[in-house]
Structure 1
Amino acid sequence: MNLASTITAVKCPVCGTLCADPPLYRYTASEAATHFCPITRNATRHHRLKASITKLWSGDECNILQCKECQFAFAYPFVGGDEEFYSILHEQQGYPTWRWDYDLAIREALSPFEKGQILDIGAGAGMFLRGLEPQWKRYAVEGSELTREPLKAAGIHVFPDLSAIPQSEFGTFQVVTLFQVLEHIADFRSVLAQCRQLLCAGGRLFISVPSGEAMIRQEKLTGCPDMPPNHVNKWTPDSLSRVLHDANFYPQPAIFESPSWDNLKLSLHLRVMTKATNQRSLAAQVYRISNKRLRALLLSTLGLPALIKLLPYVQQLRQGGSFVIMGTAR
């Protein structure tokens, strides 16, 4: 059965408004698997991803709906990737070294406290925690066993999920951070409630997420989707402030990522990657090359025609793709 044909009205997960308009986007499991790993790059991984996505969606299609009231957009079926999906996805992806929101967290969230306990949820390789001064007792939540071991070796206390943190730690944290995490989570209200339990009164919850508006702009201009089940939420400052307030936080005004030429370079990369999903394209043929150095060189040359195509939109594509909201525990 075609899922889109069965949709009448779905409640917004943030404000409860009925979303009855046609979907912003519709994706098939095959399109999603191709986005994450084109069949020309690795046919076996592509088919494994497709099977995993089909199982998550309980079918072949996912729609992106948007709430008129708070502008929150979300996947329907509203389900994020599971351990199987991410274990396949992360076979080819790494973690960033340092990001703009790390500096902002240190300046805005940590600076009011001389020392304390900090928890980074979805810590990845732990680059943020590794960069902190020694007066901070560092904790992490990380779902991957492969990632947990290096974190432990770095002296970071690691939990596999939030429910594994003992009640004796409730109310003992000065800071909790979620860097580019909440867009992956369908059960975001439970996560925020648990964060509030862990924080002391006056503690800071620091959240960075992709901007829903930027993700819609990205797909419109570069053709590269903000694809579920990896990202299932498209947050706006209004929608994120609402759920923080509901979770017993005082939300502060959003801070947006500054425009930069690096954002334009990322857009060119996304344009080339999107071209590579077409098996007949030149980009797809380049991805077949096993020599990584040669492949990277050839892919960089494809950035020039992408730049020519995107020249009218340079200023839009330089805009930051994410924003930060910090909440103070009430």
Structure 2
Amino acid sequence: MQYQYKPYNAQCPVCTHTANKLLYTVNARQSANHFIQTMGAKEISLDTLAQKIDSLWGKNTASVISCSNCDFVFADPFVAGDAEFYNLLPHSTTANDTNWKWEFEKSFQCISQLAASDANLQLLEIGASTGGFAKRIAKLIKKENIICLEHSAFGVNAIKQAGITAHSWDVRDLNQKGEYANKFNMVCLFQVLEHMDDLDTIFKTFNWVLKPNGRVFIGVPNADKIKFNELNNALLDMPPNHIGRYSDKTFKFLAGKWGFNITETAIEPYTPLDVMKTVMYYQSLQRRQLPPVANTLWYRVNEYIRIKYLRLQAALWHKKLGETLWLQLTKAA
């Protein structure tokens, strides 16, 4: 894919800048086919999923826009998938606590240091899945001091079975619950923020529930890796599943706007081989969505050249191309 970089007038959800750039546009059937092919949703009707996506967007197409001011990349319309959309897609029916992610470990080490000097830390995890992170954090923090929010009924039940409080609430609802004002020392959300709209209310809620000097630990897909994938004909970062793409510059705008300091950032370490493996796998998933290509000599020569060029790029840029951007925010005192 090549980005279009055409002028596009849409208000950035982070900084409100409007004179931005169009990267590409997709229609509802392209989006639906993407999820069917990449998530194994073979039993879902393409028409049913496309109609649902069309209804979320309020039209047949969505555009992916790059903000010229804060570098936020966002879907227009900036509308998150709802419960009906995600229930159409396959999701985990087993609790897999062995999938300990890199961003989990980064956050665990920071929380371990904080817990050493405060035995009564309070933690909120948003989008906790089946509780893999929360269950291990319970070795540092009392279980009764941990609350998890998770839309999946299966995930909520799995967390409750571990003796940890879990609810299916939307995090934004906590603004209406006075008992959560200044309650938590930490808020954690991993691979969640990119799915969420209404960012002003999200960050307002962080301020509401956090104590002074409280921390937010965030893991999101690395915007540089997504761009690398897309420009190398791998998977698109497809709305309405992912609707926001965050960079260091984007988080600086958000932190300044909502009274947070960026304490630490890091990109998941990747080797050139890691980059090659992930991009080539995503390329194979992207090809599933396209008509078959004749296996001619010219096609094989092009593939050879493309792989060689990909290998060179991976060697040069792998330190920027880890899968996840992690950061720690601290609320102003």
User: What is the TM-score normalised by the length of structure 1?
Assistant: 0.83
Partner residue in 1 for 2:58 = 58
Residue 248 of structure 1 deviates from its aligned partner by 2.0
Query: 1:25 is matched by which residue type in structure 2?
Result: Y
Sort the Cα spacing of 1:281 and 1:148 in 2 relative to 1 into closer, same or farther, 3 A. farther
Sort the Cα spacing of 1:98 and 1:48 in 2 relative to 1 into closer, same or farther, 3 A. farther
- Once the two structures are overlaid, the 10-residue window that deviates more, 119-128 or 266-275, is 266-275
1:35-79 Cα offsets, whole Å, 9 max, x none, are: 111399726343332121111111110001111111111000110
1:244 correspondence with 2:255: yes
Matches within 5 A, 1:185-200: 185-200=196-211
Sort the Cα spacing of 1:272 and 1:145 in 2 relative to 1 into closer, same or farther, 3 A. same
d(CA) in 2 for partners of 1:244, 1:73: 17
d(CA) in 1 for partners of 2:78, 2:173: 25
**What is the RMSD computed on CA atoms of the aligned residues?**
2.9
SS in 2 for 1:258: coil
Partner residue in 2 for 1:11 = 11
Sort the Cα spacing of 1:177 and 1:56 in 2 relative to 1 into closer, same or farther, 3 A. same
Matches within 5 A, 1:246-285: 246-260=257-271, 261-278=273-290, 280=292
d(CA) in 1 for partners of 2:92, 2:161: 23
CA contact (8 A) 1:119 1:176 kept: yes
Q: Which of 121, 143, 162 is residue 126 of structure 2 equivalent to?
A: 121
Identity of aligned residues (%): 25
SS in 1 for 2:232: helix
1:253-273 Cα offsets, whole Å, 9 max, x none, are: 421111234443222221111
Residue 134 of structure 1 deviates from its aligned partner by 5.0
SS in 2 for 1:252: strand
Partner residue in 2 for 1:156 = 164
d(CA) in 2 for partners of 1:321, 1:81: 22
Partner residue in 1 for 2:109 = 107
1:29 correspondence with 2:28: yes
Matches within 5 A, 1:156-235: 156-160=164-168, 161-165=170-174, 166-235=177-246
CA contact (8 A) 2:12 2:18 kept: yes
Query: 2:289 is matched by which residue type in structure 1?
Result: T
d(CA) in 1 for partners of 2:211, 2:29: 45
d(CA) in 2 for partners of 1:241, 1:106: 23
Residue 20 of structure 1 deviates from its aligned partner by 4.2
Gaps of 5+ in 2: 295-303
d(CA) in 1 for partners of 2:257, 2:111: 20
Partner residue in 2 for 1:311 = 311
1:144-201 Cα offsets, whole Å, 9 max, x none, are: 2222111111111112222554422321211110111111111122112112211111
Residue 92 of structure 1 deviates from its aligned partner by 7.3
Query: 2:52 is matched by which residue type in structure 1?
Result: S
Residue 131 of structure 1 deviates from its aligned partner by 1.3
Query: 1:231 is matched by which residue type in structure 2?
Result: H
Residue 309 of structure 1 deviates from its aligned partner by 7.6
d(CA) in 2 for partners of 1:163, 1:72: 22
SS in 2 for 1:38: helix
d(CA) in 1 for partners of 2:156, 2:231: 37
CA contact (8 A) 2:264 2:329 kept: no
Partner residue in 2 for 1:84 = 84
- Once the two structures are overlaid, the 10-residue window that deviates more, 9-18 or 91-100, is 91-100
Gaps of 5+ in 1: 283-303
d(CA) in 2 for partners of 1:113, 1:88: 40
Sort the Cα spacing of 1:135 and 1:72 in 2 relative to 1 into closer, same or farther, 3 A. closer
Query: 1:181 is matched by which residue type in structure 2?
Result: V
SS in 1 for 2:215: strand
Q: Which of 120, 137, 141 is residue 135 of structure 1 equivalent to?
A: 141
CA contact (8 A) 1:109 1:204 kept: no
Sort the Cα spacing of 1:53 and 1:33 in 2 relative to 1 into closer, same or farther, 3 A. same
Residue 13 of structure 1 deviates from its aligned partner by 1.4
